[in-house]
Amino acid sequence: MEPMADDELIYLDNNATTQLDPVVVEEMLPFLTSYYGNPSSGYGFAAKARKAIDLARERLAALLGCEPPEIVFTSGGTESNNTAIASALRFELRGRHVVTSAVEHSAVLHPCQDLAKRGCEVTFLGVDRDGNVDLAELEAAIRPETAIVSVMWANNETGVLFPVEKIAEICREKGVLFHTDAVQAAGKISICLRDTAINFLSLSAHKFHGPKGVGALFVNRRTRFQPLVAGGGQENGRRGGTENVASIVGLGKAAERASQYLSEGKTHVRSMRDRFEKAILETVNGAAVNGAGAARIPNTSSFSFEGIESPAALLLLDRHRICCSAGSACRTGSEEASHVLRAMDPSGDGARRGLRFSFGRFNTDAQVDRALEVVPKVIEKLRQVAAPARGSAVSSVATAR
């Protein structure tokens, strides 16, 4: 299994970001070249851009099962999350308490930690071994002064799905706003917001084959809203700043493509993931799937492997041109173990031994075959290296490089 220089890149990190769909690029290009008018200008030339934004809004609304005016375009998932939470706290007169989970993405966790430092009370709900939240515990955490509950739809590290529609109902009964970070759910599972009690939903284009730096916040039309970014009257006064026209067009096209794939069941992402997961469990001793007992999105496999450490595994896999991650891309380089896996198993050391493989529709069966050849050998090699002096695998592999 000597790595060859011309080995094809095998990108199995689609929860970190995805390849831009060439059809999306095609749709964006005219708005980077010809149609550069400011959508807010009055002449016909600018109307081209304005109409393209309207179309993107309709396409995204179709993916989400909501009304186009309920969509606010933003710079991505992070801004959408910050906006929803800030809006609830600035507007809600009920008080200053937030309920969230311990396994959220840092784009929810960090704003909540900041709020806690500034005197807002935050409840971080724990999860069980499979990554599930306890709904009775969630309900009990809601207080008279709670302004918002924010719980992700699908976890970026494990793919575990939270029953956000049920949680939204609980919140509605209690008269509390509900936000969901759906960055890993949008485009991967069917969503129909008009049947739900969800007030706010965040998504990001680059997680479903759209461009980076653009996303959206769904704001239910009956939900009071306070902008985070004040400026010109763009986005119907809900998000100031000249629109990122080409990127918004790309987001719309990516949403349309995702809708098609979802409705036609055309994607073989789930079958690739399932085949990979099954084969790894069969061929590698001491491998366990994190969140195996929970409902999960169809593209994610999070493993913990006995006798390895994630950073060394990533180094070796990179030499074979396999891209995957130890959890979230945001912490690469830091030695800190995954907060998600730690929350699922606080007493174990699975969090240091985690590897996440996330598939996308540009992956092929041949790539899955290649990964199934390489991954077991890499794990085996790491265990041999680690056996004499467990814990030193990182440095010995690094020097062998």
Ligand X SMILES: *Cc1c(COP(=O)(O)O)cnc(C)c1O
Among 204, 310, 325, 358, binds ligand X (CB under 6 A): 204
Asked if 131 is part of the footprint of ligand X (rule: CB under 6 A), the reply reads no
Nearer to ligand X, 19 or 396 (CB): 19
Closer to ligand X at the Cβ: 123 or 204? 204
> What is the smallest separation between the CB atom of 222 and ligand X, expressed in angstroms?
25
Contact between 219 and 70 (Cβ < 8 Å)? yes
Site size toward ligand X, by CB under 6 A? 13
Q: Judged by CB under 6 A, does residue 152 bind ligand X?
A: yes
Determine, following the binding rule CB under 6 A, whether residue 184 of this chain makes contact with ligand X. yes
Q: Which is nearer to ligand X, 77 or 111 (CB)?
A: 77
- For ligand X, the binding residue among 210, 215, 250, 327 (CB under 6 A) is 215
Binding of ligand X by 314 (CB under 6 A): no
Residues 97, 105, 273, 381: which binds ligand X (CB under 6 A)? Answer: 105
Give CA–CA dist 361/209, Å, rounded: 9
192 is catalytic: no
CB of 156 to ligand X, least distance (A): 4
Shortest Cβ contact with ligand X: which residue? Answer: 77
Q: Min. distance of Cβ 105 from ligand X in angstroms? A: 3
User: Considering the complex, what minimum distance in angstroms separates the CB of residue 356 from ligand X?
Assistant: 11
Question: Taking CB under 6 A as the rule, does residue 156 contact ligand X?
Answer: yes
Cα–Cα dist 327/16, whole Å: 9
The answer to whether 120 touches 97, Cβ cutoff 8 Å, is yes
We find the least distance from the C-beta atom of residue 204 to ligand X, in angstroms, to be 3
Q: Find the shortest distance in angstroms from Cβ 78 to ligand X.
A: 3
160 binds ligand X (CB under 6 A): no
Residue closer to ligand X by CB (options 88, 107) is 107
Q: Is there a contact between 343 and 103 (Cβ–Cβ < 8 Å)?
A: yes
Q: Which stretch binds ligand X (CB under 6 A): 37-45, 72-80, 277-285, 344-352?
A: 72-80
| Span from 47-55, 73-81, 188-196, 243-251 in contact with ligand X (CB under 6 A) | 73-81
The CB-of-201 to ligand X minimum distance in angstroms stands at 12
> How far apart (Å, rounded) are the C-alpha atoms in residues 371 and 356?
13
Is residue 291 near ligand X by the rule CB under 6 A?
A: no
**Interacting residue with ligand X among 13, 27, 70, 181 (CB under 6 A):** 181
User: Of residues 120, 171, 192, 330, which has the active-site annotation?
Assistant: 330
User: Which residues are known catalytic residues?
Assistant: 330
Interface residue list for ligand X (CB under 6 A): 76-78, 105, 107, 152, 156, 181, 183-184, 204, 207, 215
